[in-house]
A and B are shown apart, each in its own frame.
Chain A
Amino acid sequence: MKIAHSMALNEELLLKQLKDPRKAHEAFGAVVKEYTEPLYWHLRRMVLDHDDANDLLQNTFIKAWTNIDGFQGNSKISTWLYRIATNEALTFLNRQSGTDVVSLDNDDAPPVNLEADEYFDGDDLQRRLQEALQSLPPKQRTVFNMKYFDEMKYEDMSEVLGTSVGALKASYHLAVQKISAFFQDDI
């Protein structure tokens, strides 16, 4: 699920079609088909709960659909969609934690109970990993997920998150250290 390689569609043609009233619906269908899964997993890792991820995914696509005219094509469509999805999720987490600003080092996220989640199929190690990830500030957790699981390039992450590459590298390095410390006894 690499952002740079997931788009098999011709971006320039697609953007033209998305702005054409006669072709927009069909073109958007192609976008939805291409990005439903990667965006879902991106959101699911951020919020953990399936229903929340589902709602956020729907909001993401509807926002994209209603704001296509404002998209100038300065970035890839994939980057634009990830940016909308990430902002939706961070706003959601922000609302959950009762704070207004989500920064790289804000760690006020409430705990999530995976025991009760029927769509979580992990073993004890996976549960501990999610626990470790939950101990990270939401944006740092996002950085970790995008780099570690999605294998995104820092440059793409920088466009999505609006954070400098240097800050992202530092944040990821810190996240790896924190999670490693969590599994200190296993190393």
Chain B
Amino acid sequence: MTDEEKLKGIIGKENPFKVPDGYFEDFQQRLMSSLPERSFAQKKPVRIPIWRNTRTWVSAAAVFAGVIVMVAALHRADNLRDAAYASTDDGIFTEEEMSEYLATSVFDDYTLYSYLTNDE
């Protein structure tokens, strides 16, 4: 048992003081009716420059526009890539397409071979 607990056991927490009847109610009424005049701090109206006021919205709009442009650019790149692949469906030439291409191309066999082996 601590000293504090021992002390509580002896002296308890009883309040031995009294106040006159109705003291607290009277006090509040007396005090409120006798408060001195008080000068209030004059608040100057705060003028916020138009730019500072709209800066947040302009910044947000710029970020939003940037995101839109970026998404549009990526979307366009995807479309172009899809278009390139569209001729071959899955991007791989069929044997018939290759033959047709070779037949109409201006490459001779040597040039084509060099091209395919990167040996220029």
Q: Residues of B with Cβ closer than 8 Å to A?
A: 3-4, 6-7, 10-11, 13-20, 23-24, 27-28, 31-32, 35-36, 38, 40-41
Contacts and interface: CB of A to CB of B under 8 A. Distances in A.
B19 A24 contact: no
B11 A21 contact: no
Contacts, number: 90
A108 B30 CA distance: 34
Interface of A: 19, 21, 24-25, 28-29, 32-33, 36-37, 40-41, 44-45, 48, 50, 54, 57-58, 61-62, 65-66, 68-69, 119-123, 125-127, 129-130, 148-149, 173, 176-177, 179-180, 183, 186-187
A40 B28 CA distance: 12
Given A44-B17, A176-B7, A19 B40 contact: yes
A121 B16 contact: yes
A187 B11 CA distance: 11
14 contacts: A28-B35, A37-B24, A40-B24, A50-B17, A57-B27, A68-B38, A119-B19, A120-B17, A122-B16, A125-B11, A126-B14, A148-B13, A177-B3, A187-B10
